[in-house]
Structure 1
């Protein structure tokens, strides 16, 4: 067994508009996990985003994920030392919980001799998270189309088109996934279902063929974004402003409140438009230029 393992895990954006719970992409913003065996006690240190709010005991998500690996390989978790260096904001729609789950699984698996396959790690991560849209790109990198069926994730990976850029406007308030799901209807119309099916298919095809001009139509949604608008002041204005400034498409990142604009190369006008629209709605935010990544969680 190794003494210490260090893992870097990328942020992710889920749904990408119409691909509710089945599409996700990894982004160039990282959390880092340092993990080592410490028989007899648990020690958890946290730096960076969310440090004041994240549990430092057995409730910690990274520790829970690591413990799941020990259970899976039939060993007892006698104690761990964990250090988290977080750059991914928590509860903002950028996959912070997915990064914790994936990072904990990958680090513990490496620490115990890499006995679990990547596919098994993905299945375990999905069981813990509830759906694969964030954990799959966090583990595998790139753009992932996924289905979770009977305890197993079936997926295909799409390489992000060259030159694709992601502008993320991150409001300075939290929005839990639970709250964002509570506003969604229990049933949807056939019209809305067809709306999203057609656009999800077009979105994947456009990404595969590098037809970026198709993203404005392909990235629209009728199943979740219209209902979440009331939770995020200025959301519609942010989307419209970014589109007018030259974005290819603009959507909620995951459950929000982060709004993500895809652009062909860097477009400073899109950054300014998104920040300005949020400010006019009374919402402070930070704006980051990120890139889709081709690599998921990695040992460093």
Structure 2
């Protein structure tokens, strides 16, 4: 009688592998490109991991240092272990050091950056002949995030448009990358008070009027040519009917600032689910005007607003790997 089949032991990740990972902040939606358009910013979370013989620890600097877990419950560690286990690899131990610069729960892609960092770490811990591609990273991080709009620019940098195909496909998440026009400068205003993406989504209606859907589709179609070829179209291309005004009760001051800026002809939008706002300025004169207006408005606010000029990141996430 043949002996029953047994599951072969998992491959063991060796100790001593070191990887340094850098992931950019991202902004999604860009007005009418709901759950599809995204752009990468020159603001980065940095991560260093080192495999060990046993135990899981996390050292955190910056965002989350006072409340994120510092053991195996840390999101990135948990994601690394889960993904490796699914691929048939056992990770005995890991030390993680994180420098978190992307504000949490502000609409700048902090969760997508964490999922992307975990995916990059898995790439580092697998043998080189595994040949993990950017498309693999897009699938893994989007699956963990639940949608690809922030993940795609974190993977590829620049301006991206992403979508989800047949769920039965192994490559259900797709994205294209474009280079934003060199005259475009993102200016962001980040409020002190965070906002949960899940909470912001609860305010969205199940349906929208047909005329608003048509108007939004027309403006979304302008996003790519405006962002890449003709910045004069930016104001029209960033007008939204699908999500921003519905979310106003959760971030009234953000929408107030956006309304005021758009009244002056600036392409102002909610960054992701908010409450950060982003203005796509065209040229140095408009950039300085937007900064001045935002700083003046921030000075009158009861909460602190961090006004920053952020360059567009064109590389996406990067990694350095040192193997024993």
The corresponding residue for 2:274 is 256
How far residue 22 of structure 1 moved from its aligned partner, in angstroms, is 0.6
The corresponding residue for 1:14 is 28
The corresponding residue for 2:238 is 219
Q: 1:233 aligns with which of 247, 252, 274?
A: 252
The corresponding residue for 1:138 is 154
User: Could you tell me whether the CA contact under 8 Å between 2:27 and 2:107 is conserved in 1?
Assistant: yes
TM alignment of 1:1-300, pairs within 5 A: 3-114=17-128, 115=130, 116-151=132-167, 152-208=172-228, 210-243=229-262, 247=266, 249-266=267-284, 267-300=287-320
Paired with 2:121 and 2:239, the residues of 1 have a C-alpha distance of 37
User: Could you tell me whether the CA contact under 8 Å between 2:142 and 2:148 is conserved in 1?
Assistant: yes
Paired with 2:85 and 2:258, the residues of 1 have a C-alpha distance of 45
Paired with 2:305 and 2:24, the residues of 1 have a C-alpha distance of 21
Which sections of structure 1, spanning at least 5 residues, go unmatched? none
Paired with 1:131 and 1:118, the residues of 2 have a C-alpha distance of 16
Q: What is the TM-score normalised by the length of structure 1?
A: 0.94
How far residue 245 of structure 1 moved from its aligned partner, in angstroms, is 5.8
Between the two proteins, the alignment pairs up a number of residues equal to 298
Paired with 1:87 and 1:158, the residues of 2 have a C-alpha distance of 25
Q: Which moved more, 1:103-112 or 1:173-182?
A: 103-112
Q: Look up the SS of the partner of 1:22 in the other structure.
A: strand
User: Could you tell me whether the CA contact under 8 Å between 2:28 and 2:271 is conserved in 1?
Assistant: yes
Paired with 2:292 and 2:226, the residues of 1 have a C-alpha distance of 27
Q: Larger C-alpha radius of gyration, 1 or 2? A: 2
